[in-house]
Homo-oligomer: A and B are copies of this chain.
Amino acid sequence: MSEVERHRAAVEARIQGWCAALPAGALYEPMAYLMRLPAKRVRPVAALMACELFGGKAGDAIDPALGIELFHNFTLMHDDIMDASPVRRGQPTVHMRWGVNAAILSGDAMLVMAYQRMGADPRVLGTFSAYALQVCEGQAMDMAFEGRSDVGTDEYMHMIRRKTAVLLACALEVGAIIGGAEELEQRAIGRFGEKLGLAFQLRDDHIDAFGDPAVTGKQRGGDLRAGKKTWLLLKGLEAEGGTGALSNALRQPGPLRDVAEMIDALVSTGAREASEALIASLEQEALMELDRLAVPADRKAPLRALALSLMGRVS
C-alpha cells in the first residue's frame, strides 16, 4: 500500500466514523450524503503527510484534516446553490434533493462542525480562518466575474488562487503546525500547496480543451461550449484583442458555438502553449519548494508522490 493509499484509508475511516456518529435529523442528513460521495480526499491526505513530514504523528492531525474536508464540502454545498448546479459527483446536489433552505442551513452547521474539529491551537485556528476567508473572497470574485466581459488572466489567477488553491495550502500548513514545523517551514509548505493547487486547477481547465476524451471520460471542450472563463480562454481572448474566432464564438449561444474552431484558435493564438508553460512552471516551482525544505528526502517522498499524481505523472 502506498503512503497516499495508507493516509487516504485513515481519512476515509475517520469520515465514515464521523458520518455514522451524526445525530438523526434533517440538519445532518445532507452532510453525511455529501461526505459519503466518493472523493480523492487530497486535502486531508496532504494534511496528514505534512504532519509526518515534520516529525509529527498523523493521528494528531486526523481531526483537523477532517475539519478541512468538512469545510471543503461546506463550500461545495453552498457553491452548488450559488451556481445552480444540479449534479455533483454524478449525484443530485444537496439543494436539488432537500431544497435551497436546507442546503443553506446544513452548510452553515457543517462550517461550525469543521471548527469543532480544528482544536484550540491558536496557530492552527488563525491559519484556518484566514484561508477560509480567502476561499469566500475567491467565490465572491468568481461570482463578480460572471457579469463582466473584461476579466484578464491576472485577475483570474488572483481568483482561482483564493477559491481553490489556498485550501490545499491551508491543509498542508495545518498539518505542518501540528507536526511541529517552524513558521518559515509552515510558509514554505504552504507555497508548495498553493502552487500545486494552482497548477492542478489550470491543468484541469487545460485538459477540458486538449485532453484525450478516452482518458477524461468527458466530451472535449465542455467548458468552451459553456463559455466558462478559464485561464486558457481568457489568454486566447487577450491575444485576439477583442476580434477573432474566440470573441465571435462567445457572442453566440452555447449550442451554436463551434468548439473545434475555438480549440484551433486557442492553438493559433498561442494560448495553449502559454497554458502548458505556466502549468509546467508552477509544477516545477512547487516541487522546488519541497526540495528546498531542510528535511530528510525520504520524509518528503509521500508528498512528492501526491504532487506527481496531481500532475498526472506517475511517481
Q: How many residues on the A side are at the interface (Cβ–Cβ under 8 A)? A: 33
- Residues on the B chain within 8 Å of A116, using CB: 129, 133
Q: For window 94-152 of chain A, which residues contact chain B by CB distance below 8 Å?
A: 101-102, 104-105, 107-109, 111-113, 115-116, 119-122, 125, 129, 132-133, 136-137, 139-140, 143-144
Chain B residues whose C-beta falls within 8 Å of the C-beta of A105 in the assembled complex: 78, 82, 136, 139-140, 143
- Majority-rule SS of A interface residues: helix
Q: Within the complex, what minimum Cβ distance (angstroms) separates A124 from chain B?
A: 9
A306 at the interface (CB under 8 A from B): no
Q: Which residues in B have their C-beta under 8 angstroms from that of A27?
A: 136-137, 140
A280 at the A/B interface (Cβ < 8 Å)?
no
Kindly provide the distance from the CB of A258 to the nearest chain B CB, expressed in whole angstroms.
32
Cα of A119 to Cα of B126 in the assembled complex, Å: 9
CB distance from A34 to the nearest CB of B (A): 16
Contact status of A104 and B120, CB under 8 A, knowing A109-B133, A113-B133, A137-B27: no
A165 within 8 Å of B (CB atoms): no
Q: Mark A33-72, 1 if CB is under 8 A from B, else 0.
A: 0000000000000000000000000000000000000000
Instruction: Tell me, yes or no, whether A25 is within 8 Å of chain B by CB.
Output: yes
- The residue from B82, B102, B107, B125 contacting A143, defined by CB atoms under 8 A apart: B102
Q: Please name 12 pairs of A and B residues whose Cβ atoms are closer than 8 Å in the assembled complex, sorted by A.
A: A25-B140, A26-B143, A27-B140, A74-B108, A78-B104, A81-B101, A82-B101, A112-B133, A113-B129, A115-B125, A116-B129, A119-B122
